Amino acid sequence: MTLPNQHAQSIIERVLHGRTPAAALKRLSPRLPVNEPLPERLKSFTDHSAEAMQKRRDLLASMGISTSQLAGDGPEIDPVALAGNIENQVGMARVPVGVVGPLRINGSAAHGDFYVPMATTEGALIASYHRGAMLVSQAGGATSICLTEILTRAPVFQFESVREVGLFLAWLLPEFPRLQAIVGQTTAHGKLCDVQTSIVGKEVFLLFEYTTGDASGQNMVTVSTQALCQWIVENSPVAPQHWFIDGNMSGDKKATVQAFSYARGKKVVAEAILPALLVRRILNTSPEQIVRYAALSAIGGIQSGSIGVQGHYANGLAAVFIACGQDVACVSEAAIGLTRMDLTKQGDLYVSVSVPNLICGTVGGGTSLPTAKECLAMLGCAGAGHARKLAEIFAALLLCGEVSITGAMAAGEFAAAHQKHGRKPPSGGN
């Protein structure tokens, strides 16, 4: 996507994050295990015994990572404490949580070795991401950078004619500083950054763009937009016949070309260079075969009308969203993007993911629930000040998933992996 100069300058500031260019470059560079050893890898992922699960918990505990809430050792949640999270409550759905890692990330905000919780009932999913994390980490880690943060809401106003629309906009657009002040009265964390207009006959859509701090911000921007619309209707020199708080142009909880080509939520790019020897040893195929498959996959995606081309972003996002208390419905828009694979001059595998619509936060919503808070703490992302870090971790995780699934396809092992890990044994039923 192209960006105005002001946005480009903002991205540069995010990448540097107060560091000199040399210091930022060093932070974003691979950290090879030969120079900086990785922490212990979670093992025995095919051992489903209680003893093996306890060993995994003990390993995480030895690193200061708690799983007490996930283990069910915490007190039962008082239904009253769930006000604002659920209506008509009758109980709790229990989804098993697995952990992937360590995953080495060299990000602008996320920098370290992470154990990533994922909640799923799909066999083979954790194994696949775990394998991808091992390859990426042994190659020095994934560089992951959160570039932009924009959340939108798009009210629509209907007038009698396009002439009235023109008069309306001529009055409204110079009032932008006042609109920003109104937003400031509704939230201490959100800011109105810009407003775009789309005229369709006698209707005009206003695309309000916000930053939302460390919250995913869906409710925040709705409340702010309601206040803006009320002020606009009360003060406009030409009254609209009708208006609605969202005219379905914002892309909320749906995949849209607009969000893909621009951004909605946090846009994150992650990349890694994977040495050919590691690719052959861990994925049982070659970089050349992976790139060949990726090119054919892109052609298939184009024919299907896919928005973006990627393997299975939704798999990883749904699992990590559930574990970390995110709005799972946002997977519908977050799971679009581009996976890029190419050969380096040395014959190694270059991989990148570009994810323009990561709607995620570390405060508000479901992030305060005990298991979600524990999963966020596992990532060092609990509470305020960590939303960009969380987004960079999510993108790096998606990179691992893309590496593993593409490797399985290229090696002809995709069906065998699901046959081995994704089917319940006869005693468990089908």
Cβ partners under 8 Å of residue 213, min gap 6:
189, 190, 363, 384, 387
**Shortest CA distance to 140 belongs to which of 257, 4, 28?**
28
Burial class (CB in 10 A: 0-12, 13-18, 19+), 231: middle
Question: Cα–Cα distance between 422 and 430 in angstroms, integer?
Answer: 11
First to last CA, the chain: 46
Where in 159-309 does DSSP place strands (E)? 191-200, 203-211, 242-244, 265-274, 308-309
What is the set of active-site residues?
122, 327, 418
Question: Cα–Cα distance between 31 and 181 in angstroms, integer?
Answer: 45
**Shortest CA distance to 147 belongs to which of 338, 380, 362, 356?**
356
Query: Which bin fits 365, alpha (ψ -120 to 50), beta or left (φ > 0)?
Result: left
Q: How many residues does the chain have?
A: 430
Cβ partners under 8 Å of residue 242, min gap 6:
157, 158
Q: Where are the alpha helices (DSSP H) in 187-286?
A: 218-235, 257-261, 276-283
Structure tokens at 53: 């699960």
